[in-house]
Structure 1
Amino acid sequence: MKRRLLLVMLIGLFPCIAFAGHFSAAERTYNVLFIQSYNHRTPWNNQLTEGVRDGLARGGVKAKVTAEYLDADYWTFASECVIMRRICERARQQNTDLIITASDEAFYTLMHCGDSLPYKLPVVVSGIKYPNDKLMSSLPNVCGYTSKINFEYLLENARRIFPHRTEVVCVSDSSLLSLKGVAEFERIWVDYQQKHPEYTLKTMNVQAQAPNPVISSICYEYNAYNRIVIAPKWTPFLSFIGKNSKAPVFAGQSLALTNGVFGVHDMEPYEGMYAAGRCAAQVLQGAIPSVVGISDLSGKILYDYKQLEFFRVNADKVGDNGVILNAPLMERYRGWFVLFYSVIVAALIFLVIWLYRLNRHESRRRMHAQTRLLIQNRLVEQRDEFDNIFCSIRDGLITYDTDLRIHFVNRALMLMLELDPDVHTARYYEGQMAGSIFHIFYNGENILPSLLKQVRTERRVIPIPEKAFMQEIHKGTYFPVSGEVVPIYSKNKMTGMAICCRNISEEEMHKRFFNLAVDASSVYPWQYDIRTASFHFAGALLDQFGLPGKLTILRKELELLIYPEDLEQSQEHFNVILKGEELDTRMNFRMRNAEGKYEWWEFRSTSYNGLSPEAPYMVLGVCQSIQRYKNTEEELIAARDRALQADTLKSAFLANMSHEIRTPLNAIVGFSDLLKDIDAFGPEEVKQFVDTININCTLLLALINDILDLSRIESGSMDFRFAGYNLSFIMQQIYDSQRLSMPQGVELIMEVPESESKSIITDSVRLKQVINNFINNAKKFTTHGAITFGYLTNEPGYTVFFVEDTGSGISEENQQRIFERFYKVDSFTQGAGLGLSICQTIVERFCGKIAVSSELGKGTRFTVRVPDSNE
């Protein structure tokens, strides 16, 4: 019983619930995603969106339409899928209820992008040119409209409008849709050609072949006069082709209109999307997409009004089935405009006639009274105006009639000739013959009469020759002059000649002073022409850059001479000048000279603004080579670094000197104290003490000698006494002094040429000092093996001394610094680090060369190459 009662109550409440649901649905605002295949700059973009909104509203649905753009013409399919997934993600965040797509790319990319959203929401398609029936039949949530291209209908209309164009060119690219369109067009072409055998077909792919043949065959008048272009799929490249084509272009997409296409077979943009909006409204109100289905909207032939005008096709020839788009208001409402302008013109004519007749009588009376007075005053005013104008000109001016008589002389010319303009008025010399005031001399000859006669005969402008002088005939005043002689015309008849000239004394003086200053200082002027983007240099400067015979070079040519590392900075600096941000600047950079070497140049520039601060009127400057300053700067920096390094090493030397001196002194003092009680030690111990004292005395003496030699080198007072010495004798002395002090396990070997006794002119003391320093240095680092020294006489006129050991060796890094003062490879070895530096100084005084070669763990070899005579 209770169950029956509950069932009755539910049945009674069902109409109320349904009504409430219908009411809420009617009031609900839906989120609709509208995906366009192209971008927001596509023609008819606004009409597409407006059509969707109007269709939804007319269908009784309140919706918020969000437009997204795939921009398919500029991306690959993989990139389009990435963009589409982002669109789907944004749609998911906005709780989208339905998706509408425009054109093939948007729909197919949506279904293949990999996102699940298009399979969950209803999708309404529109403008599908090449439908994939298998895909669409498998999608129950898809409905809408296709708009297939009827190529046969398109060709028939093209033939009707252009009956004499019998060559058809099918232009496409390699995209999938474009290839489908070509295949469809070729399919219908077989039947079409059977009907019209006089027509021929040529297929061109702008991606499979170079674009030049395509452009040549369509965009040139002599090739395109007999052709019609068919574009199954519109692309950005075809926009260029369409806008420049000399043959009418027919396509299958309305977006091609306004891009140079003559006509397309498609729905009107607004109508197609309006139908899609109505279909979407049905789905949002509960209609099932699979029931609504997909149907084809038959298109129309849409024509571009501008293309009709371009190909001179009468609008009446379009026919009833064609639609003309982009027609101006004047064409669409021609009758109303004609009527309106006719009324306005009639009213204006009536008003003008009435005013004319009203004022005619009064004007005629006034005109007769004023004409005589005006003529008289005008003649006087014209003459005075003529005098005032030409007297205000800064250049000198004198006019002659065709008989070579003076007509007028202006104030500037009289001042140049040092004549008093207050006494000699502008008409003072009127009627006098040419030459009565001045002469013009060139190469010592008066050329004034010949110049005037030449202009009178040839009736053209003749310039006054360079280096010509003008001389006043009474005082003899003369000066260099520049100017020209020009003919004077009145009503196409030559009535006289005029000389326009100026005194160029100061200009010549400044020019010559400037040239002298430039030649003496090697400072070269330059000028940058903003209009031509070129530099004007002195010829001598361009000769240094390997560009003889030129006076101007483009900015790009100059930048090729700049060192690559300096190019970017110099470009930025010069761009700042051209923007007007700096007026006076200085730039330093390296440039390649005629020898292919780079040298430093300094460019100074100044500019002054033109019509606006951002655009300078002119940029002027001077430049000079600063390579010698750069070289001096580098030398000073290197000298400073060497001085700082020497000072650092000297400071380290002085800091360690107390240790170097105290070590042998402590040994000497300590063992000397032990010898006070000599009886407490055995003979061997006493001998050992004495040897230790002797060794440390020798070390201390060597240290003091090095310090003294250093001081002599610093003061320039190191003495050299050159004489002839036998080398074998010197080598034997060195061997005898060194063999007893060799470390245990190390053998001293002397190698000299056998059966040869050679003598050289040298300082034997300094020579032995060098070799002994090498041997002493070798003893510090050799614990076994041998130390070999001697000389070689392989090179005539030179002797090579060498000291070679089997010690620990020297690294390549230390070999670079081994001859520096105070430098020690091993800071724990005895010595001040002066020996090898002193050796280098001595060898340089011998006019010789010192070298070292070493390998870690195998030993070191020092060589000294000196001439046999130092005289």
Structure 2
Amino acid sequence: MNRRRYYIFCFLLFTVFSQIAATERAYNILFIQSYTNQTPWHSELIRGLCDGFGEEKVKVNIVTEYLDADYWAYPSEKVIMKRFCERARNRGTDIIVTVSDEAFHTLFNCGDSLPRQIPVVYYGMKYPDEALISTLPNVCGFTSNPDFSLLLEQANKIFPNRTEVVCVNDNSFLSLKGKEDFMNEYGKFLRSHPEYKLLTYNVQTETTSNIISSICYPRNSYGRIVIVPKWSPFMAFIGKNSKAPFFSCQSIALTNGVFCAYDADPYTSSRMAGVRAAKVLKGTPPEEFGMTETPVDFHYDFKQLDFFHVEKERATPGVILNQPYWEKYRFLFILLYASILALLVLVVVWLIRANRREARRRMHAQTRLLVQSRLVAQRDEFDNIFHSIRDGVITYDTDYRIHFTNRALLEMLHLPLDVSVRPYEGLPAGSIFKIYTNGREVLREMLKEVITKGKSVEIPANSFMQEVHSGSYFPVSGELVPIHSHGNITGVAVSAHNISDEEMQKRFFDLAVEESSIYPWQYNIRTGLFTFPQGFLKRFGFEESLTTVSRSEIEDKMHPEEVEDIRIMFDEALAGKKQNARMSFRQYNADGKYEWWEYRTSVLNGLTTDVPYSILGICQSIQRYKSTEEELTTARDKALQADKLKSAFLANMSHEIRTPLNAIVGFSDLLSDTSNFTEEEVAQFIATINKNCSLLLALINDILDLSRIESGTMDFQFAKHSLPLLLKNVHDSQRLNMPQGVELLLDIPEGSKKYLVTDNVRLQQVVNNLINNAAKFTSGGSITFGYTEDEPGYVSLFVEDTGKGISEEGLRHIFERFYKVDSFTQGAGLGLSICQTIVGRLRGNISVTSEVGKGTRFTVRIPDTCE
């Protein structure tokens, strides 16, 4: 009784603790690595951190971010770090863990407040900012202090004949700090080793060729060792190709080209950080831990030891990484080989004994075979009958096991053709082949259906038979029939046929028909039905289940204008009057369009020539030929129109250019002798010449813009521009050009700071053209331009004048080339046409409203982003 109570108590206690464990909180951890996930040891860092939390039995969700400090500049690192902090804040991060100096330093200098609000645990720190850390009570961690003195002594121990030291660094903070530390230690080292010489290189000031030649060329690198204060991707590239051994105080260099690294083990240091972070999450204040130094050791790359022919015994103290399994587990391999050899001996002994037992068994079997020989002879006669069948035949018993396979089936499955025995007898269904329909194996289902219902079952269409031994498969057709004996079902016979060739020929024919758009057809005179391929019927919207269509259904698809003529021609073929005919007409396809087709007929005569047996033919789409014909006609018409436009253009240009040139030449001749004119008259002559020069220049600019539009070379440069500033610039440049008595006004929304992504040059060209056009027809009053913001994402610019206005007839043609409302006004009639083209390129539209005698208003509506 007491034992029963004890069991119940243990069960309840286990249930309570299970509920407590299930409700235990999982902490969110932000793990920031200073470099990328391509560094060789980044997975070890993550694994060690997870094991550290697991050791303290703290559930965590770790999100790893990579700062990639070797790639980004420091300002960019701070921006990236702020993004890390923002994402961490959104996730509700409980603690931050950083590895290496870059991550910690950037975290507390990125400007985000998160690292000062939650605990931070760092490790792998080479040069900690103790002044900063002392002010942060929420920070604790581990340092891995570099010791270049020990590193130099170890290099001297392993390579006593290499007395030249090459120090390679860059301009990063850690590299410069490391070089400074190295130089201090090197001075001490030189006192006890005066024979050493030092070369220093900066990868950002020295040329790459100098560094490579000094380290990678054998003639230069012999007798040298390389010290790298800070490892970088460039050092990895040089280290893997160097003929001099590399030494560093960073574990990131391990298996990445370094010979020896004096640093903490990546996994161990990461696990220690995970343990400390777990204790902080449990409630221990970070300031109680403070700063702790991680144990460091020498780490060697086995491949580098082998390359420089250094024996493992000399690489002490320290740990050798990257060892081949044979070197690392030699004793275990020897033990394994011995075990395998012993096992082989046992297997041979067992086989010998099994062979003896098998010999005795064969003796007994031979006795039974003598008795069964008569039955075998009868069975062979039965087999020969099935072997003569061309289709593959296989029989199964009611337990779904193979009973017989004929030669045709073995050939079909590419199996051995030894039919003197039944090699597959007794194997379960699916052992030598499987049948798939729509990706589902159905052989056993069909066998079960035949045995259960006692009825034949056909192999479904589009089924495949797969060879089990090779995995190859092919399309198959056939049938499963029950085998009866004394009124009972004793098995199932399956006949199958490989239809690969038939299916391939059918598909080739269908492809040829579909690609060429040539379809065969037949008209059955007795039934009055057409037979077309499925692709043709689908093309004209008939149901997929149909295989034949009536003559009336075909006529319904014809164009009404051509039905009667085609009906007469087909009736002549039915009457035997035409053996061959060709008919072209339009048919209404599934896309809702009429398409040109050509039908060719061939009459198959019946018992008499006047009563055809059937009509055969082919049909082909000739739409592309008709389209080509229409395109050629359109191209011819456009060429004729272009010729007329060219003549009109030359006529207009010759007139427009001659007008200002006559004024320029005439008044220039008058200025050759100014003695007969007053100063006011001379000034008027010069003003006239300047005015006509400006008109001529504007005309030429319009012609050039028109040429660019026609050739498609008008260039647009899109950028962000201030619309109020753009219109103020136009106002400042145009207000001095206004006719006397006309005031130019700028009307923009008060306080607007509208910005557009547009081409400011082309947009100013549009506004200037509209203002110049308004100035031509305004003799008094004002010209007002500006913009309104009536709908989101768009802006409407306007130019409004108080001029004489435009008639309704003029409004219909106002944007046409060479059209001029007033033929006596200067200009070629191109400005508004060019404006319309530019506005269209800016994804907008231009419109005009006018009233004769009261003025005109042009409106340009464009989106905020015109790209």
Question: Is TM more than 0.5 here?
Answer: no
**TM-score if structure 1 supplies the norm length?**
0.40
Q: Which has the larger radius of gyration?
A: 1
